[in-house]
């Protein structure tokens, strides 16, 4: 399947260097950010367990060869089993044409000391046509299955080498060996905000190609105490060049250890069949690289001699053109230094919800106190967001109803005061919502445009006074949009503002349309004038999924929000107002695994 | 002629192709107002090895006449070995996208646009950041009278301009609001 020569592009991309395009703002550190936010929330509610964050590095050997003309293009998907249900926790990158891959992308998991955490690893051969799409969007059913392995997380942690090799077997715990093995290594995540931005360049590399010059790329691995090394990043391929300059690499302390930890830097000639030829290698710590930068001197590559024993020093040299240490702030750093999330809510009052006086209606208010779907969504989301919103004054609107003046409104205040949309606290929203149900009659159509524009206006206006506010609009709806195009226009216009939009779907409707707005599939929203959304600001969650237990609402909500918040702040170089909040230093330090 | 100074940082391009294949190299960007001829445009340097995803990170400054309606942004393949300069993607950025509306005028904005080739076919995306510079003594136009933005919360307000995180591009934060 894979490995035809057309898919080289995926293989030539950089991995783990933390590069980010202006538009779609995918950061490497997303794992850290989201877990921080979820943990912080749970901890504040006394729900914490004793846990520590660990990173899994994966490698495999002797994988099954599914391709005829070449070797497999493997990727691993990691699941955790909770209450008998598999939950995906991460994917590696796809490695081209390789049966003994060493993946760079790590998978992060919270290690709970008190629970058994079964992990399932599935290895797939990824079809050529998926080679250039974000791995998150790859449909696994369309891929060749190469085998499955399982273990319990504590099995890995308790090994002295912190690593475990497993045989790849049939799907779903089958006992037949499919051939090949998977090695999982676990390491504790070091909570650190330090990153190093570095530009590497080489000169006088050996020429490995016959008809043109070498196509070099670098792979950087960290030497670990227990032996061996873990690859932490690779650069993009610079074609046909013996004096290449690579793009800026962004490496976190989490990746390279500390400044004295030795790193192996290998330079390869890219080969589209996956067997990249080693041009040379050298071992330097981050501190050594900094020294190279200051002294503007080069370090010679060496190559192990074919006669064994000694290493031949090459003419090719590595230079460091740029070296800056920086601090990268987390979501929690901003919030704890006085940045605020400002919550806004908009409720769907269209007729498709059903007559609010009938028990079948999504808007039915039960005298016994059982909450309807809208009330549940307001309560559950509000509870999380108000935790981050200190003044607890929330603008609350309704849309799609005929108001008292007889006109249909697509953005009216839920409160009885027509000039003041703000209500106080989640209870205030609940009261205003129940009140509005008595005062308006459900109508239609379902239009989001006005509500989004209203929220965008408030977010934009805040920029005149303050830059430490970020807005979250919760839209609760039962279904299909009439103004998809206008909504997209409004979202594109709002995409550069300090605003995220969470759409919660209630009821049994088909929410396919919402997935279009939530640009998770990598397609950026585009307006009819040709403006493209600067970043993804929409997150869609279906209450049905939440109640089925497939996802937790807090998790779903905080999955993208911190990253959306950070992409906004970082793009503008906005920093937390106090730089060293004391209580944030080393949040996991007291639960280091050596204590067990 | 009345004009305003606009700083346009050409950050990057995405998914630029010629005949269905990513353009390997040698792309640059020209920027001008719709009232100017091509001779009046400002250019970035050439990106050599973008492979369809070029990055320039270059700040261009243009004088935009007050009655200009669009900024014309063109991605061109540079002339080499007998080739002519070819426009591979073009976008007309409405001036209204960054001067009118509810934002403080000197607010740094990140804007992305669809590019189209000479036949009008979609060909990639261009990512820009735009800041309108206010001339000394000029009142803000067309916006509510604001409370002045506190410059202190922007780190590096006085110079330096150390950027915290990724992405990495060369945006100067020297200018106070």
pLDDT tens, residue by residue, A66-83: 777 778 889 999 999 887
Q: Is the separation of the CB atoms in A327 and A194 below 8 Å?
A: yes
- Assess whether pLDDT exceeds 70 at residue A595: no
Do residue B112 and residue A566 have CB atoms under 8 angstroms apart?
Answer: no
Q: How many residues does chain B have?
A: 177
For the CA atoms of chain B, what is the radius of gyration? 17
Of A16, A129, A134, A132, nearest in space to A519 by CA: A134
Token pair 């008998």: residue: A84
CA A399 to chain B, closest CA, distance in angstroms equals 23
Roughly how many angstroms between the first and final C-alpha of chain A, as a whole number? 46
Q: Same domain, yes or no, for A344 and A423?
A: yes
In a domain, A226, yes or no: yes
Q: Is the separation of the CB atoms in A471 and A459 below 8 Å?
A: yes
> What confidence score (pLDDT) does residue A539 get?
87
Do residue B112 and residue A533 have CB atoms under 8 angstroms apart?
Answer: yes
The tokens describing A578, both together, are 């106090």
In a domain, A485, yes or no: yes
Q: Same domain, yes or no, for A491 and A413?
A: yes
> What confidence score (pLDDT) does residue B31 get?
96
With CA atoms as reference, the chain A residue closest to B112 would be A532
Do residue B165 and residue A27 have CB atoms under 8 angstroms apart?
Answer: yes
Segment (H or E) for A197: strand A194-203
Helix, coil or strand: residue A431: helix
Average pLDDT of the segment spanning A475-483: 90
* Rounded distance between C-alpha atoms, residue A21 and residue A16, angstroms: 14
User: Which of the four pLDDT bands, split at 50, 70 and 90, describes residue B129?
Assistant: very high
With CA atoms as reference, the chain A residue closest to B173 would be A573
Do residue A531 and residue B112 have CB atoms under 8 angstroms apart?
Answer: yes
Which residues, at least 6 apart from A295, have a Cβ–Cβ distance to it below 8 Å? none
Of A228, A229, A247, nearest in space to A238 by CA: A247
User: Which of the four pLDDT bands, split at 50, 70 and 90, describes residue A581?
Assistant: very low
Segment (H or E) for A362: none
What crossing angle do the helices spanning A553-571 and A30-44 adopt, rounded to 10°? 130
**Lowest mean per-residue pLDDT among A17-21, A384-388, A412-416, B77-81:** A17-21
> What confidence score (pLDDT) does residue A18 get?
57
**Which CA distances in Å does B70 have to A47, A576, B34?**
55, 36, 5
In a domain, A332, yes or no: no
CA A474 to chain B, closest CA, distance in angstroms equals 22
Mean pLDDT (chain A, rounded):
83
CA B134 to chain A, closest CA, distance in angstroms equals 15
CA B174 to chain A, closest CA, distance in angstroms equals 12
With CA atoms as reference, the chain B residue closest to A248 would be B168
**Lowest mean per-residue pLDDT among A97-101, A515-519, B36-40, B133-137:** B133-137
CA B90 to chain A, closest CA, distance in angstroms equals 11
* Rounded distance between C-alpha atoms, residue A266 and residue A219, angstroms: 5
In a domain, A80, yes or no: yes
Do residue B166 and residue A468 have CB atoms under 8 angstroms apart?
Answer: no
**Which CA distances in Å does A364 have to A429, A433, A439, A509?**
16, 12, 14, 17
pLDDT tens, residue by residue, A535-553: 889 988 888 877 776 566 7
Q: Which domains does chain B possess?
A: 3-133 (2.60.40.150), 141-177 (no CATH)
Q: Same domain, yes or no, for A295 and A178?
A: no
Do residue A467 and residue B149 have CB atoms under 8 angstroms apart?
Answer: yes
Do residue B164 and residue A467 have CB atoms under 8 angstroms apart?
Answer: no
Q: Which of B54, B121, B166 to mutate to test the interface with A (most CBs of A within 10 A)?
A: B166
Which member of A23, A247, A328 has the closest CB to residue B165?
Answer: A328
Q: Is the separation of the CB atoms in A510 and A383 below 8 Å?
A: no
- Helices and strands counted in chain A (H then E): 13, 27
- Among A306, A327, A348, identify where a domain stops: A327
Q: Same domain, yes or no, for A125 and A105?
A: yes
Q: Which of B55, B104, B128, B167 to mutate to test the interface with A (most CBs of A within 10 A)?
A: B167
Q: Which of B8, B115, B165 to mutate to test the interface with A (most CBs of A within 10 A)?
A: B165
- Assess whether pLDDT exceeds 90 at residue A447: yes
Helix, coil or strand: residue A343: strand
Q: Is the separation of the CB atoms in A386 and A392 below 8 Å?
A: yes
> What confidence score (pLDDT) does residue A158 get?
77
pLDDT tens, residue by residue, B96-126: 999 866 788 788 999 999 999 999 999 999 9
> Phi/psi at A398 (nearest 5 deg)?
-125, 160
In a domain, A402, yes or no: yes
Enumerate the β-bridge partners of residue B28. Answer: B76
The tokens describing B119, both together, are 């036949």
Q: The domain spanning residue A365 has which CATH number?
A: 3.40.50.410
Q: Same domain, yes or no, for A62 and A116?
A: yes
Q: Same domain, yes or no, for A354 and A496?
A: yes
- Assess whether pLDDT exceeds 50 at residue A7: no
CA B85 to chain A, closest CA, distance in angstroms equals 23
Which member of B110, B165, B167 has the closest CB to residue A496?
Answer: B110
Q: Same domain, yes or no, for A424 and A405?
A: yes
Q: Same domain, yes or no, for A142 and A60?
A: yes
Q: Is the separation of the CB atoms in A216 and A279 below 8 Å?
A: yes
Average pLDDT of the segment spanning A456-464: 92
In this predicted model, which residue has the larger pLDDT, B49 or A243? A243
What crossing angle do the helices spanning A373-386 and A425-439 adopt, rounded to 10°? 150
Beta strands A393-399 and A422-424: pairing type?
Answer: antiparallel
- Assess whether pLDDT exceeds 80 at residue A519: no
CA A466 to chain B, closest CA, distance in angstroms equals 7
- Assess whether pLDDT exceeds 50 at residue A408: yes
Which chain B residues contact residue A570 at CB under 8 A? 164-166
Of A191, A220, A194, nearest in space to A325 by CA: A194
| Other Cβ atoms closer than 10 A to A264 | 17
* Rounded distance between C-alpha atoms, residue A575 and residue A127, angstroms: 42
Which chain B residues contact residue A467 at CB under 8 A? 149-150, 153-154
Do residue A530 and residue B113 have CB atoms under 8 angstroms apart?
Answer: yes
Which chain A residues contact residue B112 at CB under 8 A? 22-23, 524, 531-534
In this predicted model, which residue has the larger pLDDT, A48 or A300? A300
Do residue A531 and residue B97 have CB atoms under 8 angstroms apart?
Answer: yes
Q: Same domain, yes or no, for A417 and A548?
A: yes
In a domain, A579, yes or no: no
pLDDT tens, residue by residue, A154-178: 888 777 788 899 999 988 777 788 8
- Among A191, A213, A233, identify where a domain stops: A191
- Among A298, A327, A356, identify where a domain stops: A327
> What confidence score (pLDDT) does residue A458 get?
93
> What confidence score (pLDDT) does residue A486 get?
92
Q: Is the peptide bond before A408 cis (omega within 30 degrees of 0)?
A: no
pLDDT tens, residue by residue, A125-136: 988 777 667 787
Which member of B11, B111, B173 has the closest CB to residue A496?
Answer: B111
Q: Same domain, yes or no, for A212 and A290?
A: yes
Q: The domain spanning residue A222 has which CATH number?
A: 2.60.40.150
pLDDT tens, residue by residue, A286-311: 999 999 999 999 999 999 887 767 88
* Rounded distance between C-alpha atoms, residue A138 and residue B66, angstroms: 48
Q: Same domain, yes or no, for A528 and A474?
A: yes
Which member of B103, B107, B164 has the closest CB to residue A575?
Answer: B164
User: Which of the four pLDDT bands, split at 50, 70 and 90, describes residue B154?
Assistant: very low
* Rounded distance between C-alpha atoms, residue A288 and residue A292, angstroms: 6
Which member of B11, B14, B164 has the closest CB to residue A328?
Answer: B164
With CA atoms as reference, the chain A residue closest to B15 would be A132
pTM given for the model: 0.70
Query: Which residue range forms the structural domain that includes residue A133?
Result: 52-191
CA B39 to chain A, closest CA, distance in angstroms equals 25
Which member of A250, A329, A530 has the closest CB to residue B166?
Answer: A250
In a domain, A37, yes or no: no
Which member of A21, A327, A529 has the closest CB to residue B167?
Answer: A21
Do residue B11 and residue A532 have CB atoms under 8 angstroms apart?
Answer: no
Average pLDDT of the segment spanning A355-378: 91
Do residue B155 and residue A573 have CB atoms under 8 angstroms apart?
Answer: yes
* Rounded distance between C-alpha atoms, residue A108 and residue A56, angstroms: 6
User: Which of the four pLDDT bands, split at 50, 70 and 90, describes residue A201?
Assistant: very high
Q: Is the peptide bond before B18 cis (omega within 30 degrees of 0)?
A: no
In a domain, A40, yes or no: no
CA A116 to chain B, closest CA, distance in angstroms equals 37
Average pLDDT of the segment spanning A196-210: 90
CA A430 to chain B, closest CA, distance in angstroms equals 31
**Burial annotation A501-540 (CB, 10 A radius, 16+ → b, else e):** bbbbbbbebebeebebbbbeeeebbbbeebbbbbbbbbbb
Q: Is the separation of the CB atoms in A323 and A249 below 8 Å?
A: no
Of A79, A354, A72, A58, nearest in space to A183 by CA: A58
Do residue B104 and residue A464 have CB atoms under 8 angstroms apart?
Answer: yes
* Rounded distance between C-alpha atoms, residue A329 and residue A581, angstroms: 11
Tally of CA atoms within 13 A in the half-sphere of A487 that contains its CB:
20
Do residue B146 and residue A532 have CB atoms under 8 angstroms apart?
Answer: no
Which chain A residues contact residue B161 at CB under 8 A? 573
Q: Which of B121, B164, B173, B177 to mutate to test the interface with A (most CBs of A within 10 A)?
A: B164
Do residue B92 and residue A530 have CB atoms under 8 angstroms apart?
Answer: yes
pLDDT tens, residue by residue, A262-280: 999 999 998 877 788 999 9
Q: Which of A9, A13, A22 to mutate to test the interface with B (most CBs of B within 10 A)?
A: A22
* Rounded distance between C-alpha atoms, residue A389 and residue A381, angstroms: 12
Annotate A484-500 with three-state secondary structure: HHHHHHHHHHHCCCCEE
CA A509 to chain B, closest CA, distance in angstroms equals 33
pLDDT tens, residue by residue, A11-46: 667 777 654 333 333 333 333 334 566 667 666 665
Do residue B149 and residue A464 have CB atoms under 8 angstroms apart?
Answer: yes
Annotate chain B with three-state secondary structure: CCEEEEEEEEEEEECCEECCEECCCCEEEEEEECCCCHHHCEECCCECCCCCCCEEEEEEEEEEECCCCEEEEEEEECCCCCCCCEEEEEEEEECHHHHCCCCCCCCCEEEEEEEECCCCCEEEEEEEEEEEECCCCCCCCCCCCCCCCCHHHECCCCCCCCCCCCCCCCCCCCCCC
How many domains are there within chain A?
A: 3
pLDDT tens, residue by residue, A225-258: 777 788 888 888 888 889 998 888 888 887 887 8
The tokens describing A276, both together, are 């990249």
* Rounded distance between C-alpha atoms, residue A353 and residue A507, angstroms: 8
Do residue A467 and residue B150 have CB atoms under 8 angstroms apart?
Answer: yes
In this predicted model, which residue has the larger pLDDT, A116 or A497? A497
Q: Same domain, yes or no, for A345 and A381?
A: yes
């Amino acid at each position: 399947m894979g490995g035809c020569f057309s898919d080289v592009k995926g293989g030539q991309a950089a991995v783990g260097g933390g590069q980010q395009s202006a538009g779609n703002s995918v950061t490497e550190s997303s794992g850290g950010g989201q877990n921080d936010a979820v943990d912080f929330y749970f901890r504040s509610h006394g729900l914490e367990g004793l846990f520590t964050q660990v990173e899994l590095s994966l490698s495999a050997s002797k994988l099954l060869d599914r391709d005829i003309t070449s070797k497999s293009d493997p990727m691993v998907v990691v699941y955790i089993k909770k209450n008998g249900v598999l939950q995906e926790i991460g994917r590696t990158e796809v490695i081209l044409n390789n049966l003994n891959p060493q993946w760079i992308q790590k998978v992060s998991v919270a290690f709970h000391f008190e629970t058994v955490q079964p992990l399932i690893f599935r290895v797939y051969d990824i079809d050529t046509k998926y080679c250039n799409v974000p791995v998150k969007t790859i449909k696994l059913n369309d891929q060749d299955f190469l085998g499955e392995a399982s273990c319990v997380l504590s099995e890995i942690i308790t090994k002295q080498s912190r690593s475990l090799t497993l045989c790849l077997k049939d799907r779903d715990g089958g006992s037949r060996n499919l051939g090949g093995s998977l090695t999982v290594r676990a390491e504790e995540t070091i909570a650190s905000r330090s990153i190093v931005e570095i530009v590497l360049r080489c000169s006088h590399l050996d020429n490995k190609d016959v008809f043109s010059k070498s196509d070099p790329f670098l792979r950087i691995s960290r030497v670990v105490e227990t032996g061996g090394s873990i690859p932490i990043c690779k650069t993009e391929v610079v074609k046909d060049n013996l004096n290449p300059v690579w793009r800026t690499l962004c490496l976190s302390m989490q990746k390279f250890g500390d400044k004295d930890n030795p790193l192996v830097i290998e330079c390869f000639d890219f080969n589209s069949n996956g067997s990249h030829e080693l041009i040379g290698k050298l071992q330097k710590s981050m501190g050594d690289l900094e020294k190279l930068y200051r002294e503007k001197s080069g370090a010679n590559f060496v190559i192990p001699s074919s006669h064994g024993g000694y290493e031949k020093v090459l003419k090719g040299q590595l230079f460091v053109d740029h070296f800056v240490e920086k601090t990268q702030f987390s979501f929690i750093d901003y919030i704890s230094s006085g940045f605020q999330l400002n919550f806004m809510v908009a409720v769907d009052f269209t007729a498709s919800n059903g007559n609010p006086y009938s028990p079948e209606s999504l808007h039915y208010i039960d005298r016994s106190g059982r909450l309807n779907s809208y009330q549940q969504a307001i309560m559950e989301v509000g509870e999380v967001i108000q935790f981050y919103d200190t003044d607890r004054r929330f603008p609350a609107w309704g849309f799609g109803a005929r108001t008292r003046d007889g006109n249909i409104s697509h953005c009216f205040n839920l409160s009885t005061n027509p000039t003041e949309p703000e209500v106080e606290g989640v209870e205030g929203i609940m009261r205003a919502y129940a009140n509005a149900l008595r005062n308006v009659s459900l109508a239609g159509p379902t239009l989001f445009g006005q509500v989004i524009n209203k929220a965008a206006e408030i977010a934009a206006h805040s920029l005149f006074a303050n830059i430490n506010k970020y807005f979250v609009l919760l839209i609760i709806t039962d279904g299909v949009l009439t103004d998809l195009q206008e909504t997209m226009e409004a979202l594109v216009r709002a995409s550069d503002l300090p605003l995220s939009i969470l759409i919660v779907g209630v009821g049994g409707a088909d929410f396919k349309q919402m997935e279009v707005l939530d640009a998770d599939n990598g397609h950026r929203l585009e307006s009819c004038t040709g403006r493209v959304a600067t970043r993804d600001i929409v997150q869609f969650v279906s209450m049905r999924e939440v109640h089925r237990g497939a996802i937790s609402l807090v998790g779903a909500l905080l999955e993208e929000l911190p990253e959306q918040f950070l992409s906004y702040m970082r793009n503008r170089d906005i920093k937390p107002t106090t730089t060293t909040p004391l209580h944030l230093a080393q949040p996991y330090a007291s639960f280091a695994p050596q204590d067990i | 002629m009345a004009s305003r100074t606009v700083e346009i940082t050409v950050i990057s391009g995405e998914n630029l192709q010629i005949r269905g294949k990513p353009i390997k190299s040698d792309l640059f960007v020209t920027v001008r107002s719709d009232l100017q001829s091509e001779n009046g445009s400002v250019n970035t340097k050439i990106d050599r090895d973008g492979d369809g995803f070029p990055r320039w990170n270059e700040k261009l400054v243009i004088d935009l006449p007050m009655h200009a309606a669009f900024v014309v942004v063109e991605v061109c393949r540079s002339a080499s070995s007998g080739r002519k300069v070819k426009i591979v993607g073009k976008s007309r950025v409405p001036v209204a996208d960054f001067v009118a509306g509810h934002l403080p005028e000197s607010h740094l904005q990140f804007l992305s646009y669809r590019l189209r080739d000479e036949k009008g076919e979609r060909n990639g995306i261009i990512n820009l950041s735009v800041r309108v510079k206010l001339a000394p003594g000029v009142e803000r136009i067309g916006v509510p009278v604001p409370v002045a933005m506190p410059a202190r919360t922007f780190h590096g307000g006085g110079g330096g301009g150390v950027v915290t995180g990724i992405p990495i591009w060369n945006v100067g934060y020297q200018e106070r609001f």
